[in-house]
Structure 1
Amino acid sequence: MSATPVVILTGAGRGIGLAILQHLLSLPTPPNILAVTRTITPALKSLSATHPSSSSDLETISIDLSTPPQELTSDIKSLIIDVAISRWGRIDTLILNHGTLDPVKKIVDSDGEEWERTFRTNFLSNVEIVRAGMGELRRKGGRVVMVSSGAAVGAYTGWGAYGASKAALNHFNQTLALEEPDVTTVAIRPGVVDTDMQKALREVHGSVMKPEEHAKFVNLKKSGGIVKPEDVGAVLGNLGMRAEKSLSGKFLTWNDDALAAYR
């Protein structure tokens, strides 16, 4: 059994998740990391080559977390939880970063299947991962870091499914803090981060959003006001390693004063 903390990180292949992974691996004493992703990206392959599994610090798993619950529950246990326990004998932290913005459509133009897929990805899969890993998290006094969104508390045209799923994630975080006092859980709003999602908002979804909504994201990019993935990734990674109990159940922006010690 490893004495080194074990982190399960989802959505690790690109954007914020990749930045979290790079930060964790750069620590003086990096944790053991199970990097979970739908697609093994070139960047993730490169990191895996630099940190081969024989060094006991990084292993990658490919899984589609939009899978229907009856299949996903079994996959999460066998492909994520059991793999981490079998390899390292413990789970200390879940950093739940995966998600999808789609469908970017007005409510009347979307359908139930699209909303269901969004909720499976952004919400229900997180519930299942937490449920499956809770025994280990309780045993280790572990941490759960959920990547939420400002869309959970503020609406944009066409973002209904995404915003609702993130609002559900926030409530899940609050409830988990009440029900599991031995586990520290926090939901973080990462801000407008320079990722593929933001590129799609600027270049693809402008016809759905109101002009002023679309202009906000275009202007943030032009002005340099967009958040760098490595900046928010460092905060999320540090929270995964040492979030204090006083943060449990809170929904905070990544650069909130309460998180100054994690930047």
Structure 2
Amino acid sequence: MAKVIIVTGVSRGIGRSIVDTIFKLSPDTIVYGIARSEKPLQELKSTYGDNFYYVVGDITDASKLEQLTQNAISQHGKIDSVVANAGVLEPVESIHNADIDAWKKLYDINFFSIVSLVKITLPYVSKSNGNYVFVSSDASTMYFSNWGAYGSSKAALNHLALTVANEEKSVKCLAVAPGIFDTSMQVNIRENVGSNMSKEHHEMFKDLKASNKLLDSNVPATVYSKLALNGIPEAINGTYISFDAPELKDYQI
């Protein structure tokens, strides 16, 4: 029976790549996606037809997550995996100049929406002995100047993976860093928010692009897709790990 997978933030970047890769690896899979922009969702629907379904909305709106979940259950009867991808980088600012309301908004998107998503989908993912795959970041354990909001939210996400895996024995959960790949977030760093970072870190990101060292998004997307389709290895359940770790060699391109 075909797998049923929820993916958030599917309109662009790695979220879009994850959807495309899932269908490349397993064309009969059913994917339910959510994003704020309808046009990219319509394009996915046009491409994948009756294998792709979507809800237009903000992931911080629990009613939209409920709608997405209930659509999957009413139409396909189960949820096998959830890939929590949607997230934002800004505010990029020093702790001295922290806009607390902006930090809270980022946390609502990067962390609390995922707590809500897990709570809403857990009865069904548990029934399927399924998987939660969280898109984390190297910034969760490394310092990038003025990324305190983003990095700490991803660190919280890592701990959420640990919590879910230990509290819910019928599911597996993993937080995976995707490396530095070529998306609109990188453009934003180079052209906009990078000016709020240290010169050293800003130049580092610009040099990665100039030297063609940014990953294609399908490289980490393959890891997320295979984890959602094939399951999380017991040995790394509940951990935080990089997409290129030896433990994930069977999931890499």
What is the distance in 2 between the residues matched to 1:121 and 1:260? Answer: 30
Which one-letter code corresponds to 2:248 in the other structure? L
TM-score, scaled relative to structure 2: 0.95
What is the distance in 2 between the residues matched to 1:156 and 1:20? Answer: 26
Residues 235/30 of structure 1: CA separation in 2 closer, same or farther (3 Å cut): farther
Q: Secondary structure at the match of 1:199?
A: helix
Equivalent position of 1:138 in the other structure: 126
What is the distance in 1 between the residues matched to 2:39 and 2:206? Answer: 27
Maintained 8 Å contact 1:184/1:247:
no
Q: Secondary structure at the match of 2:205?
A: helix
Q: Secondary structure at the match of 2:161?
A: helix
Write out per-residue CA displacement over residues 159-214 of structure 1, whole angstroms, 9 at most, x where no aligned residue: 11111111100011111111111111100000111011111101112221111101
The reply on whether 1:34 has 2:23 as its aligned counterpart is no
2:159 to 159, 164, 171: 171
Equivalent position of 1:21 in the other structure: 19
What is the distance in 2 between the residues matched to 1:28 and 1:102? Answer: 35
The number of equivalent residue pairs is 251
Q: Secondary structure at the match of 2:176?
A: strand
Q: Secondary structure at the match of 1:51?
A: helix
Which one-letter code corresponds to 2:53 in the other structure? E
2:53 to 56, 59, 62: 59
The reply on whether 1:249 has 2:243 as its aligned counterpart is no
Equivalent position of 1:108 in the other structure: 96
What is the distance in 2 between the residues matched to 1:29 and 1:200? Answer: 33
Identity %: 33
Equivalent position of 2:202 in the other structure: 214
| CA apart distance, 1:28 | 4.0
Which one-letter code corresponds to 2:139 in the other structure? A
What is the distance in 1 between the residues matched to 2:25 and 2:164? Answer: 29
2:222 to 231, 234, 247: 234
Write out per-residue CA displacement over residues 96-155 of structure 1, whole angstroms, 9 at most, x where no aligned residue: 000000111122223221011000000000000001111111111000000000111112
Which ranges of 4 or more aligned residues in structure 1 deviate by more than 6 Å? none
Maintained 8 Å contact 2:111/2:157:
yes
What stretches of structure 1 of length at least 5 have no aligned partner? 67-71
Equivalent position of 1:45 in the other structure: 42
| CA apart distance, 1:247 | 2.2
What is the distance in 2 between the residues matched to 1:32 and 1:221? Answer: 35
| CA apart distance, 1:41 | 4.1
What is the distance in 2 between the residues matched to 1:46 and 1:256? Answer: 33
Equivalent position of 2:247 in the other structure: 258
What is the distance in 2 between the residues matched to 1:116 and 1:9? Answer: 23
Which one-letter code corresponds to 1:253 in the other structure? S
Maintained 8 Å contact 2:58/2:64:
no
What is the distance in 2 between the residues matched to 1:222 and 1:228? Answer: 14
CA RMSD of aligned residues (A): 1.3
Equivalent position of 2:189 in the other structure: 201
TM-score, scaled relative to structure 1: 0.92
What is the distance in 2 between the residues matched to 1:150 and 1:90? Answer: 32
Maintained 8 Å contact 1:123/1:166:
yes
